[in-house]
Structure 1
Amino acid sequence: MTTAAFLSLLQGAGVTLVLSGAGIALGVPLGLLLGLIRWGRVPVLSPIVMVYVSLLRSTPAVTLCLLIFFAIPTMGIDIGPWTASVLTLGLNTAAFNCEIWRSGLNNFSPDQLEAARSFGMTPALRFRRIIFPQLWRACLPGLVNEMTLLIKSSPAIAVVGVVEITRAATRIGAQTYDPLPPMLVATGIYIVLIVVFVGLQRLTERLYGQAGAAA
């Protein structure tokens, strides 16, 4: 495989990282918000969130991407491939993140909340000082696992013309009539990305554990 082909794969990897990172930045906080709504059983909103989560979890990313890319412009809103890709990845992972956050919230000790209420803490203060510091640590493995799944499902965005790793490897294979080398390199790049994510998770857990022990 030529140097130009390898650089093309690296460029595709950069596109994957940028779009996946944007999708994660959108999906993680949105998933937390949705999880809080379901956990708190907010009237009207909670059933809507439940339907949203059920639909998004059962919709393939390719279908969702095509739906966003072609449906939103019919509403008079101009949307490009990159915006459609970020929305696809973000909305898709938010549905899964919602269930991860909600599971952590359901397992949270109610005794701590009762103690906080007895001290007169407001709901916002209870969440910021008591719930979230414990919640994110409990949910971190699940969230990182979902992030890795998001990266592996990112080839779905190629359907709207975005050249990420897999599409770049496919193009190179079509040009050279030898698809195996670029696909092997693309696989290696995916493995490196996943290993980095898992390594960052373990490092964060170790640092957090050391900080807790020191306190």
Structure 2
Amino acid sequence: MNFYDYLSFVYGAVSTIGVSFIAIIVGIPLGLGLALLRWAKVPLLGKCAYVYVSLVRSCPAVTLIMLIYFGLPQFEISLSPLVAAMISFSITATAFNCEIWRSALLSFDRSQYEAAQAFGMNRWIRFRYVLLPQVWRSSIPGLINEMTLLVKNSPAISVIGLLDITRAAQRIGARTYEPIPPLLVGFAIYIVIVMLLIKLQKHLEVRIRSAQEPL
């Protein structure tokens, strides 16, 4: 492999990380919002959130990204491949993160929330200081796992012409007639990204434990 081959890997890694990062930034808070709607059993909105999550979780990432990129122009809405990939991955991340947050909410002791209300705390204070810290702690492993799945599903963006790590490896292998070396390089890049996410999880868990320790 030459310098330009390694440069292709850099471009592919930037696309993979960029699309996944945007999806994570969008999906975590939106997923929490949908989970709260379902947990609080808000009329109509809770049902809509359930339908949304069920449909998106049933749709493969490749199919969803193709529906957005090739389907929206039928309604005179044209998106660039990068924007279509970000929207697709954000939609998927929101749905899966919703279930992670909802699982944490279901394990939350509602009596604490009701006790805080009895002490006169308003809804925002109860959410910020009673509910969120506990569900956040319970959700960290699942959220990090979903981040790694987003990264590993990133080859789906290649179907609309974006260069990702796997596509870069395939192109280089097809040109050099030696598919194994570029695939190993791509594999190593994925390992580095995933290990960084795992390190982030451990860092967050350590910070939470230290915050809970008595002074």
Normalising by the residue count of structure 2, what TM-score does the alignment of the two structures yield?
0.96
CA shift for structure 1 position 111: 1.8
1:44 maps to 44
2:116 maps to 116
**2:7 pairs with 1:7:** yes
Residue type of the partner of 2:109? S
Give the gaps of 5 or more residues in structure 2.
none
1:93-142 CA distance string (max 9 Å, x none): 11111110001011111121121011111222211111111111110000
Calculate the aligned-residue CA RMSD, in Å. 1.1
2:147 maps to 147
**2:91 pairs with 1:78:** no
C-alpha distance in structure 2 between counterparts of 1:74 and 1:214, whole Å:
60
Residue type of the partner of 1:193? I
**Higher mean C-alpha displacement, 3-12 vs 90-99:** 3-12
CA shift for structure 1 position 71: 1.8
C-alpha distance in structure 2 between counterparts of 1:158 and 1:33, whole Å:
30
C-alpha distance in structure 2 between counterparts of 1:2 and 1:81, whole Å:
27
Normalising by the residue count of structure 1, what TM-score does the alignment of the two structures yield?
0.96
Aligned length: 215
1:190-205 residue pairs with structure 2 within 5 A? Answer: 190-205=190-205
CA shift for structure 1 position 7: 2.2
2:127 maps to 127
CA shift for structure 1 position 73: 2.2
Contact 2:64 2:88 in 1 (8 A): yes
C-alpha distance in structure 1 between counterparts of 2:207 and 2:121, whole Å:
29
Residue type of the partner of 1:64? L
**2:187 pairs with 1:164:** no
CA shift for structure 1 position 148: 0.3
Residue type of the partner of 2:173? G
1:106 maps to 106
1:176-195 residue pairs with structure 2 within 5 A? Answer: 176-195=176-195
2:30 maps to 30
Secondary structure (helix, strand or coil) at the match of 2:121 reads coil
Give the gaps of 5 or more residues in structure 1.
none
CA shift for structure 1 position 75: 2.2
Residue type of the partner of 1:116? A
Query: Percent of aligned pairs with the same residue?
Result: 48
